Structure 1
Amino acid sequence: MSILYLTNKYYKLEKKYNTIIIKDKYQNTKVFPIEKIKKIVIYGKKSISSQIIFELLKRDISLIWFSKYGKFLGILDSKRHINPTIHRRQFLLSENKDFSLNISKIFITSKIKNCRILLYKYNKKYNIDFVSKSIYKLKEYIEKINISSNKTEIFGYEGNCAKLYFKSLNYFLPEEFHFTNRSKRPPKDPFNSLISFGYTILFYEIYTTIEYVGLNPYISFMHKPRKNYPSLASDLIEELRSPIIDSIIVSSIRSKLFSINDFDYLDKNKAVYLKNKSTKKLINIFENKINKIHKYHFFNKSFRESLLFQAQSLLQAIKEKDYKLYKLLIIR
């Protein structure tokens, strides 16, 4: 099963028999059998026929739409995976202080452990004093989080960890990609632009996986639910940011796969966004990473398979009302 990413603004989509035909402005065509498509991700304005929309809904294939700069616009989905019984139990557990607190600790400590491992990997060669101290400090915060009695305290420790982590990453980037701090909406520099775009791709990979296993993406345990926002995807993305997105961004920059010429610099709000042609490059790097096989709970799995396994383990934890059944992902 494959995922179609459409970034070229001139693409036009048509359906013929059991295939989807993609045409560019020169009428060059690519043909994809519909049964081999898992989902379609579109960036920018594209022409898409009602026949295709009908076929996607019938076959339970998701269509995710973003602006050309990666702002999420919406999802077309058949909603066949909705299970009211599971959603009700999920909601009740989200209101359960013990369950939500303890599974939040798992999400955050897993995230920080993966951040430490990535910093250790890069610092092995350079032995930078600030980074070494940060790695040790992150370990101390993990210990504090494990004995925390409320989520407010946990988020405070997480914020401190994020500052140390991103400040440490700066040491491993070439000067033109140095950044002052993490900026999101909008990203203010090339590094933050890459990170934000990568997180967005991963976020909606998680969103569709959550729906696929039958969970409600809008009912979360760690992040506070808010209108029109799939906060459960925010819960699950935490431990995956570093091993999947941060690692490919830092590695790509250091390998000179991106330069400062890959970005649009907007005067209006001082925002920095990936150019259209550069989004394709990052999407390809992401797909290579998420399909890469790694060791996961004594099994060899791709990161995409691991993500599905995690969502399924969260489903099991909800069914059994036992947060210990959730399978965290720690890189090696």
Structure 2
Amino acid sequence: MKSLLNTLYVSTDGAYLRLEGETLVMMVDQSKKAQVPLHHLGSIVCLGRVNMSPALMARNMADGRSIVWLNEHGRFQARVEGPVNGNILLRQAQFRAADRVETALELSKAFTAGKLRNSRNVLLRSARDSKDEAEKAQLVRAAKSLAVNLRNVGHAESADSVRGLEGDAARVYFEQFNTMIKPQMREEFEYKGRSRRPPLDAVNALISFLYSLLLNDCRSALETVGLDPQLGFFHVVRPGRPALALDLLEEFRAVLGDRLALTLINRGQLRSKDFDFRPGGAVMLNDGGRKTVIVAYQERKKETLQHPVLEAQVEIGLLPLLQARMLARYLRGDVEAYVPFLNK
């Protein structure tokens, strides 16, 4: 099994990354601020204004280490990587499968079932932790509603039907997000409904940032096994859109995104001081807030859990890679079905 190499997140404004022997060095205002051995790194993510020397970039390409640039909101800007070594036969199988309506529908159902099951578990977990009986009942009702949608997904006859059920479940789920936030934190973290580009409150800024980090991990996992992250089955294919990475992301939004966001809020690890509130209503994590989230995200990825299919303890950060491998096996015809990750 592949070891979980670190992803280096660089969010220091104006940082310059250069190569020094077998290490990456971060310079700020011509002063050395950090140094990391290259062999510890699986990828590098640069947030905001971060520059890199040509020598370091060339070394990363030679080592097969990807570099991603995100803006300060966590939105994707660019990706640099070396020659594509993916298995062409696997990609041919992927493209053929995408042309088969029944295969695309089966995979759409699997990705959506994983999302709904894991989202339902987040609701039930919050219900168990709630001290308010009325709120507990409210969360349980929402979980039951998602269970109905989950059953209906299995009987859906078209991808559009699956998307409709997923959209309805997402609406019910996010209607309860405020309820999952501890009462003492709700004034500071008032959730006003899902908003993107730009996020209009701190909760949206946080979960969107986490989703961006997770999407990058899903895309890297797919490329590692040789799949094309652009050609999806559930998300509509558009130029420049990593549709398959978005498909895989659905299984992990609740597990690695929402649960971590709720933990950071409910434990008081993030406060309003960690966000910038811009004129016009846009909200974004500031430099301190991003660092807190990145550290928590990296720590979460190092935790282990029992994988329901492999029946073994695995690091959480390896889950996207394991699911990408299972998807590849399904597309090659090695297994009869793709089983999404279902968190208990």
For the criterion TM > 0.5, the same-fold answer is yes
Counterpart amino acid of residue 145 in structure 1: V
Correspondent of 1:260 among 243, 257, 272: 272
Correspondent of 2:168 among 144, 160, 172: 160
Name the residue aligned to 2:68.
64
Structure 1 pair 146/96, CA: closer, same or farther in 2 (3 Å)? Answer: same
Question: Does 2:321 match 1:290?
Answer: no
Name the residue aligned to 1:142.
150
Q: CA deviation at 1:125?
A: 3.5
Question: Does 2:226 match 1:214?
Answer: yes
Correspondent of 1:169 among 146, 169, 177: 177
Question: Does 2:259 match 1:251?
Answer: no
Counterpart amino acid of residue 200 in structure 2: K
Structure 2: which 5+ residue stretches go unaligned?
Answer: none
**Do the aligned residues in 1 keep the contact of 2:229 with 2:243 (CA within 8 Å)?**
yes
Structure 1 pair 125/56, CA: closer, same or farther in 2 (3 Å)? Answer: closer
Counterpart amino acid of residue 169 in structure 1: F
Instruction: Give the Cα–Cα distance (whole angstroms) in 2 for the partners of residues 327 and 144 of structure 1.
Output: 17
Q: CA deviation at 1:25?
A: 2.7
Pairs within 5 Å for 1:1-332: 1-25=5-29, 27-126=31-130, 127=133, 128=135, 129-173=137-181, 174-175=185-186, 176-268=188-280, 270-297=281-308, 298-320=311-333, 324=337, 326-332=338-344
Q: CA deviation at 1:321?
A: 7.3
Counterpart amino acid of residue 296 in structure 2: I
Q: CA deviation at 1:29?
A: 3.3
**Do the aligned residues in 2 keep the contact of 1:187 with 1:273 (CA within 8 Å)?**
yes
Q: CA deviation at 1:26?
A: 6.6
Counterpart amino acid of residue 52 in structure 2: I
Counterpart amino acid of residue 286 in structure 2: K
Structure 1: which 5+ residue stretches go unaligned?
Answer: none
Deviations 1:132-178 (CA, angstroms, capped at 9, x unpaired): 21111111111111101001111111111111111112112222212
User: CA RMSD, aligned part only?
Assistant: 1.5
**Do the aligned residues in 2 keep the contact of 1:43 with 1:67 (CA within 8 Å)?**
yes
Instruction: Give the Cα–Cα distance (whole angstroms) in 1 for the partners of residues 262 and 237 of structure 2.
Output: 31
Instruction: Give the Cα–Cα distance (whole angstroms) in 1 for the partners of residues 95 and 147 of structure 2.
Output: 32
Instruction: Give the Cα–Cα distance (whole angstroms) in 1 for the partners of residues 151 and 207 of structure 2.
Output: 28
**Do the aligned residues in 1 keep the contact of 2:25 with 2:32 (CA within 8 Å)?**
no
Instruction: Give the Cα–Cα distance (whole angstroms) in 2 for the partners of residues 320 and 201 of structure 1.
Output: 31
Instruction: Give the Cα–Cα distance (whole angstroms) in 2 for the partners of residues 284 and 205 of structure 1.
Output: 15
Structure 1 pair 117/51, CA: closer, same or farther in 2 (3 Å)? Answer: same
Instruction: Give the Cα–Cα distance (whole angstroms) in 2 for the partners of residues 46 and 133 of structure 1.
Output: 46
**Do the aligned residues in 2 keep the contact of 1:103 with 1:323 (CA within 8 Å)?**
no
Between 1:6-15 and 1:213-222, the stretch displaced more is 6-15
Counterpart amino acid of residue 18 in structure 1: E
Instruction: Give the Cα–Cα distance (whole angstroms) in 1 for the partners of residues 105 and 336 of structure 2.
Output: 10
Deviations 1:203-224 (CA, angstroms, capped at 9, x unpaired): 0011111101100001111111
Structure 1 pair 227/29, CA: closer, same or farther in 2 (3 Å)? Answer: same
Counterpart amino acid of residue 154 in structure 2: N
> How many residue pairs align between the two structures?
330
**Do the aligned residues in 1 keep the contact of 2:177 with 2:191 (CA within 8 Å)?**
no
